[in-house]
Structure formats: structure tokens, C-alpha cells
Amino acid sequence: MTDASLHTGPAAGELEREAEQADNRSRWMLSTPAIVIICLAAAGPLMVMVLYSFLTPGDYGNVKWEFSTQAWVNTILQRDIFDDTLMWADAHLSIFWRSLSLSLITTVLTFVFGLPTAWFIATQPPGKKEFWLFLVTVPFWSNLLVRTIAIQELIRAEGVINNTLKFLRIIDEPIQMMFTDFAIAFGMTYVYLPLMVLPIYAAVDKLDFRLVEAAHDLYATRWRTFWRVILPLVKPGIIAGSILVFIPSLGAYVTPRVLGGGKNLMFGNLIELQFGQGRNWPLGAALSLMLMAAVMVALIWYVRVTSRERADV
Amino acid sequence: MSEPAVQPRRGYSVRTLPGFAVMAVFCFIALYAPIIILVVFSFNAGTSLAIWEGFSLRWYAQAAANEAVQEAAVRSLILASIAATVATVAATMAALATTRTRRFPGRTMIYALINQPLMVPEIVTAVALLIVFAWIKVATGHTSLIYLITAHTAFCIPFAYLPIRARLETMDYTLETAARDLYASPWNVFSRVTLPLMWPGIIAGYMLAFVISLDDVVITEFVKSAGQETLPTFMLGQLRRVVTPEINAISTVILAAGAILVSLFFWLSRGRK
């Protein structure tokens, strides 16, 4: 510090620092509109929600301004109406379990279908690759609600699948697919499949096929090559794809609402219920924060795994 | 062969795995079949969504004549235009501030804030907005589109920001230096060199923001006041009733609009490389 000022003179150092500060200021000013809007309508309201989760529910929705931790207790426990003992809130726990298990099933299914698709695209000759990639991307960018409606019309009792099966005389009565957990898993696998394909594609595209050839040359069977050479090399893409599918599945609202109906609720629908018929905004706020925490845990796990992977290489 | 083979041998290739191609083709069919069926039955002459009774445009005519659909469509378009415009302007400014620079204090924070809407599940943002806006609505008695516009602008910003930032990062910095060396004023450098160069990124960001706003259903559903249906929330509401191919007709129009915008987006961002 003192050395520098001796060499360049105090004025020069001062000028440089001032220029730097002016630059910082203008960069902050340029960012201000974006930051203000996001604080106003995204980040800020999340803070208010923390406050609301510690208030008392109002009689007709909204809140009374009285401090209470009841909402947080009620996320997993409930009080018996007769003898006032605390017990597990089975309804909530079963919804958490459905959210978690359906999200995991969706992740596995998208992987099972996504890996071959990504592999197929990545091993196409250069000119055709872009075309196939485009084909995967288009459904991803098309309206999620519309794609969910497409699935609904497919699996309805009078839908295309049931009608075809009836026409072929395989079944007499339509199979009940709508408003089941199957419908939700099926729908989510359909809408989130591109999210699994794209990162795995990126990983396969970078794969050094000389390593695969080397494994073959050393008399590894196809299966062994796949298991010991290909999978470990493609793993970063698989992990990225899994997290990209798992996180929106856990927070899914539209797909379970349309395909699951009123009985097969997922986390997102349970939250909505508290702001609608449930009239328990603090509980809804607490549940929302729990969902957010669950997503954060998944993200932190992802960051840790990927940084470890990088350290290994 | 001692040298690494550049071209895989014919017949036996390490690049093919048994069954993968079949699975992939199945996936492509599965990705498109439901959408194609939906589109096909929007042209059905009958009321069924699964039995073909001949070609007709009656459901398109019915949707176009439906006042609720008209209103919702206009509202969706107004909302998307305003939100995408404001978001793109804000995102362009933020992108200019956060790219092509050394680390400056707070850069990571700005970056995290801008991407924050992407990290939180939509339903969580939606109910948080419901809480805050209900409060404001009660306090002021004001119920206009402003709430939806603000909410849409916020979640559109990261989508507009990413392509603009990508464009800026690959731009040739020497052109601006050259302009400055030739005594162009800062404003001239920006308006005559920087802005024209980043224009494709800005348009791409705008398209993306527009599509994202047009498609949004969760946040809109929770923020809208009574009688402020957009096309997606209108459709979500209709699903509870008897579904006719009218829904398919509206869906097809939304799909077509989205496909055009996204194709334009890809076409514009291809020039980047």
C-alpha cells in the first residue's frame, strides 16, 4: 500500500481508485431496475412469507397479527379434536411422501427414456444432430399446460388410449387412468423428459470415444464397457439432468392439479389448499418455506457432488 | 490399426448401443404423439376428443366468437408485451453492468438476485406474491393489471437476461475500443456500436420473456384479481367443466404462437457462433 503510493504518487492512486468506484457505482445503477423489480415481486415477498408463517390464521383467510408458531407445528403434527393430544398429521405426511416418491419415479423414468434418446442424438452425424436436438427442444418450450392437457385427453376414460383398446377388444370397460398417481407420474415424465435429455446429450457429445474403443480392444464386453467406461464418463450429465427433473417435479402444481384431481395432491397443491378452502395462510406459508428448503437441499447436494466430481478429475 | 480411428468402422460401431436407437425413436414419437393428437382433434367436426367425425373449423370459430376467450387472449398479449418489454430493458441494463468486467463488489449478489426467480418453485413465489399483493390490495383498494405486470416482469427478467448476457460475452470488444480511439463519445459508442452488436441477443431475450409470460399459469392464477383471466388460467378453469375440442383449438393457437417465437429465438441465437 505505502510502496505503491511512493512509486505512483498519491494523486495517481487516488484517481485510479476514484475511477474504479465510479465504475462500480454505474454498474450498480445499471442493475438497479432489475434488482428493484425482483426484490419487489420475487425475493421480497419470500421474506414477508417468513413473517406470515409466524402469525395466526384469520377467520376468513388472510391473517391476524398475533404471533404463533402453530403453523410450523401443524406442518407435520395435528391436535386431536377430542382429547387435544398431538399426533402425526397423516394427511400431510402422505402428501409429502407422494411428492417425494412421484418425483423420484419421474426422475428414474426420464432417465430410462432420456439416456438412449440423448445417446442417439449425440451419435448422429454432425449435420443431423441439430435437427434431432431441435426436435427435443420444441416440446420443452411449448406450453406446459397445453402439454398436460394433451396427456389428459390421451388417458381420459373416453380418451384415445381407452378407445383404441376398446376398439381392439382388449378391454370392455375403460381403464381408470385419470386422477391416479400413475397419471401424475406419466404426465410429469412426459413434460420433463427434455430436461433430462439435454444435459445427458451435452455429456455424451463430449465423450471421448477412443476410451470406449480402448475398452473394446481390451476385450471388455458391451455391457462391461457401458457400465465401467460410458456411465462414469456421462455421470455429470446424468446428475445435472436428474436435478433438473427432480426439482420441478417436487414443486409441480399444474400437472398434479390437472391429472391428479382433488384427491391425489402433491406438495404444491397442498400449499394452494391452505390459501383456498383451508383458509390457513400461515400454514400455507410454512409449507411453502418447507418446499423451498427441500429444493435448496437438492441444489446444495448437486453443487457438492459436482464440485467433488471436478476435484476427482 | 495402431492409430486412433477417426471414423468408426462400418458394421460394428462403438457408438451404437443395442436397443438405444429403438428407445430413442419411441421417445420422439411419444414426445410428439400427444401434441399431434391434440392438434388433430381441434379440427374434429364432432364434440368428441377421441372419435374422428370429419374435418371442420367449427371449434376455431366458436373459440374466436367466445367473448371470454377474446378478453383473455387480449389480456395475455397486453400482459406479455408490457412485461417482456420492461423485463428486457431491465435485463439489458443489468447484463451491460455484469459482463465484461473484473469482479466488482456485489457482482455475485446481483447475479444471484437476477436468477433468484429460477431457483424457487413457482408455486412458492406465487403464494408469496398472493400474500403481499392481497395486503396491498386491501390497503389501497387498487385492483388493476399492475400486479400481474409486476409479477410477470420479475420472473421474465432472468429469461431475458441469459441470452443478452451470452451475446455480450461473445461480442468483439475491440470494435468498441476502436470507436473510442476514434473519439466517439460514450453515448455514440453505445448507440452506434454496442447496441447494434447486441441487438440479436436483446431480441432473443425479448422473445423468450414473451413466451414465458404468455405461458405462465401458476403465478398468474394466484396474483390475478377477479375477472383478470389470461388465456392459460381461462383454460385451467375450463378443464373443470366438460371439455370440448374448443380447448384443443385454443391450445393449437397457443402452440403455434409459441413455436413461431421459439423458432425465431433459435434462429437469432444461432448467429452467435
Q: Cα–Cα distance between A116 and B21 in angstroms, integer?
A: 7
- Predicted confidence at residue A245, as pLDDT, reads 96
Does the beta-carbon distance from A212 to B14 stay under 8 Å?
A: yes
Which residues on chain A are in Cβ contact (under 8 Å) with B107?
A: 27
Cell 423420484, residue located: A104
* Angle CA A223–A228–A232, to nearest 5: 125
| Residue B1 is assigned to a structural domain of this protein | no
| Residue B8 is assigned to a structural domain of this protein | no
List the grid coordinates of A35. Answer: 434488482
Q: Which of B27, B115, B255 to substitute to test the interface with A, most A CBs within 10 Å?
A: B27
- pLDDT for B6 beyond 60: no
Does the beta-carbon distance from A31 to B98 stay under 8 Å?
A: yes
| Residue B210 is assigned to a structural domain of this protein | yes
Count how many domains chain B has. Answer: 2
Which residues on chain B are in Cβ contact (under 8 Å) with A162?
A: 50
Instruction: Report whether B93 contacts A33 (CB < 8 A).
Output: yes
| Residue ending a domain, choose from B56, B87, B104 | B56
Does the beta-carbon distance from A291 to B236 stay under 8 Å?
A: no
Is domain A89-312 classified as CATH 2.30.40.10?
no
- Residues of chain B above pLDDT 90, percent: 65
Are B104 and B176 contained in the same domain? yes
CATH number at residue B232: 1.10.3720.10
- Predicted confidence at residue A4, as pLDDT, reads 47
Instruction: Report whether B214 contacts B235 (CB < 8 A).
Output: no
Over residues B195-211, the mean pLDDT reads 92
Q: Measure in Å the smallest separation between the Cα of A143 and chain B Cα atoms.
A: 6
| Residue B62 is assigned to a structural domain of this protein | no
Are B50 and B117 contained in the same domain? no
Q: Is B15 exposed, middle or buried (0-12, 13-18, 19+ CB in 10 A)?
A: middle
Are B84 and B219 contained in the same domain? yes
Identity at B87, one-letter amino acid code: A
Q: Which of A114, A113, A132 is nearest to A123 (CA)?
A: A132
Determine the 3-state secondary structure of B44 from DSSP. strand
Instruction: Report whether A13 contacts B129 (CB < 8 A).
Output: no
Dihedral angle, C-alpha A215, A221, A225, A226, nearest 10 °: 160
Q: Which of A76-80, A141-145, B119-123, B154-158 has the lowest mean pLDDT?
A: A76-80
Q: Is A178 exposed, middle or buried (0-12, 13-18, 19+ CB in 10 A)?
A: buried
- pLDDT for A106 beyond 90: yes
Does the beta-carbon distance from A138 to B131 stay under 8 Å?
A: no
Over the stretch B160-196, which tens digit does the pLDDT of each residue have? 999 999 999 888 888 888 998 999 998 999 999 999 9
Does the beta-carbon distance from B124 to A31 stay under 8 Å?
A: no
Over the stretch A58-79, which tens digit does the pLDDT of each residue have? 887 788 888 988 889 888 888 7
Nearest to B150 among A41, A115, A119 (CB): A41
Residues of chain A with CATH 1.10.3720.10: 89-312
Residue A115's pLDDT band, with cuts at 50, 70 and 90, is very high
Q: Which of A309-313, B133-137, B141-145 has the lowest mean pLDDT?
A: A309-313
B268 or B245, which is more confident? B245
Contacts from A82-86 at CB under 8 Å and sequence distance 24+?
none
Which residues on chain B are in Cβ contact (under 8 Å) with A231?
A: none
Q: What is the mean pLDDT of chain A?
A: 89
- Predicted confidence at residue A313, as pLDDT, reads 55
Q: Cα–Cα distance between A133 and A131 in angstroms, integer?
A: 5
In order of A208, B2, B13, the CA distances from B5 in angstroms are 12, 8, 11
Determine the 3-state secondary structure of B18 from DSSP. coil
Over the stretch A263-277, which tens digit does the pLDDT of each residue have? 899 999 999 999 988
Q: Are strands A63-67 and A77-79 parallel, antiparallel or unpaired?
A: unpaired
Over residues A128-135, the mean pLDDT reads 90
Q: What is the mean pLDDT of chain B?
A: 89
* Global ipTM: 0.88
A4 or B232, which is more confident? B232
Are B162 and B203 contained in the same domain? yes
Q: Which of B100, B264, B272, B262 is nearest to B197 (CA)?
A: B272
- pLDDT for A157 beyond 50: yes
| Residue B169 is assigned to a structural domain of this protein | yes
- Residues of chain A above pLDDT 70, percent: 95
Q: Which of A145, A186, A229, A297 to substitute to test the interface with B, most B CBs within 10 Å?
A: A145
Are B49 and B158 contained in the same domain? no
- pLDDT for B1 beyond 70: no
- pLDDT for B5 beyond 70: no
Residue B11's pLDDT band, with cuts at 50, 70 and 90, is low
B200's CB contacts (< 8 A; 6+ apart) are B167, B268, B269, B271, B272
List the grid coordinates of A90. Answer: 397423516
Is the pTM for the entire model greater than 0.80? yes
| Residue B80 is assigned to a structural domain of this protein | yes
| Residue B22 is assigned to a structural domain of this protein | yes
Q: Which of B73, B5, B90, B132 is nearest to A49 (CA)?
A: B132
A1 or B244, which is more confident? B244
Over the stretch B116-134, which tens digit does the pLDDT of each residue have? 999 899 999 999 999 999 9
Q: Which of A28-32, A34-38, A157-161, B73-77 has the lowest mean pLDDT?
A: A157-161
B-chain residue closest to A246, CA distance: B121
Over residues B15-19, the mean pLDDT reads 81
Which residues on chain A are in Cβ contact (under 8 Å) with B214?
A: 143
Are B146 and B244 contained in the same domain? yes
Round to the nearest angstrom and report the end-to-end CA distance of chain B.
36
List the grid coordinates of B241. Answer: 367443466
Residue B10's pLDDT band, with cuts at 50, 70 and 90, is low
Nearest to A193 among B31, B138, B222 (CB): B31
Range of the domain at B166: 67-270
B31 or B9, which is more confident? B31
Contacts from A270-273 at CB under 8 Å and sequence distance 24+?
A270/A92, A270/A95, A271/B123, A271/B124, A271/B127, A272/B123, A272/B127, A272/B222
Q: Cα–Cα distance between B79 and B230 in angstroms, integer?
A: 9
Q: Can you list the alpha helix ranges (DSSP code H) found in chain B?
A: 20-41, 58-65, 67-98, 107-119, 122-140, 146-169, 173-181, 186-188, 195-215, 218-223, 231-238, 245-270
Which residues on chain B are in Cβ contact (under 8 Å) with A34?
A: 90-91, 93-94, 110, 113-114, 157, 161
Over residues B248-259, the mean pLDDT reads 93
Strand partners, A87: A78
Cell 418425483, residue located: A103
Over the stretch A192-247, which tens digit does the pLDDT of each residue have? 999 999 999 999 999 888 998 898 889 888 888 899 999 999 999 999 999 999 99
Are B35 and B95 contained in the same domain? no
- pLDDT for A5 beyond 90: no
Give the CB-side neighbour count of residue A188, counting CA atoms within 13 A.
34
Q: Cα–Cα distance between A80 and B96 in angstroms, integer?
A: 58
